[in-house]
Amino acid sequence: MVFFDSLNLKTMVVDNKEKFTTPTRRSNPSNDNERIEEVVQRQRRRKTRKVLMKRRRSIFRRRDENGIEKKVQTLQRLVPTRVGSDNNQGLDGLFTDTASYIISLQMRVRVMQIMVDVMENSQNLE
């Protein structure tokens, strides 16, 4: 009886496999050529996408680099160089000059505010 039960199980498993397997396609030369052509076209599209993405990346990099260069040039035009400093001091020197220039401008603004306050107080006393 155990022998028959195992055979029943085997036939059930085989039957279930047949139900769930996909049917095999018969090879047709025209279908094969169409499939090959589809695969080739997909590969071409992928290659062109890759090339386009590389071009876009390089364009954006160039734009970023040009944007940074333009900003550095603008900063060089805005910030006066210190007496005795080289013009070719690099970004580090440029940032140092910029920081010192900002501090000097802040000091000028404070001095002007103090002068305005003094003048207002002197006018109020008269």
Q: What is the pLDDT of residue 67?
A: 83
| pLDDT tens for the 126 residues of the chain, in order | 444 454 555 565 555 555 555 555 555 556 778 888 888 888 777 777 777 787 777 777 776 677 888 899 999 999 987 766 666 678 888 999 999 999 999 999 999 999 999 999 888 776
SS (H, E, C) the chain: CHHHHHHHHHHHHHHHHHHHCCCCCCCCHHHHHHHHHHHHHHHHHHHHHHHHHHHHHHHHHHHHHHHHHHHHHHHHHHCCCCCCCCCCCHHHHHHHHHHHHHHHHHHHHHHHHHHHHHHHHHHHHC
Q: What is the pLDDT of residue 18?
A: 54
What is the model's pTM? 0.45
pLDDT of residue 27: 53
What is the per-residue pLDDT for 44?
Answer: 78
